[in-house]
Amino acid sequence: MSSTMLNIHVVQPRMMSVREAAAYVGLPIGRFSNACSVPAILMPGNLDRYDVRDLDAWLDRIKGGESQVDDAILSLLDQKAG
């Protein structure tokens, strides 16, 4: 029986598309666009990208109980939609 060594290198991109960013934080794209207060950054080539460090900071604020501002914004959006 022979064995083979597999060398895999996974690169975590720092800048993510909206689809990647939504998946990263665990939200569907529509919900992510309404819930996330992190602004996209306009990259060369006219591409909107989200910085993973900004997403992490946003998630840390939510974890720390600092989501009241985001909750207030979501509440206003829900009122206007309904």
**What pTM, to 2 d.p., does this model score?**
0.68
Q: How large is the average pLDDT for residues 12-28?
A: 95
Residue 29: which residues within 8 A CB-CB, separation 6 or more?
A: 18, 19, 22
Query: What digits encode the pLDDT tens for the residues 24-60?
Result: 999 999 999 999 999 999 999 999 999 999 999 999 9
Taking the mean position of all CA atoms in its chain, how far away is CA 37?
10
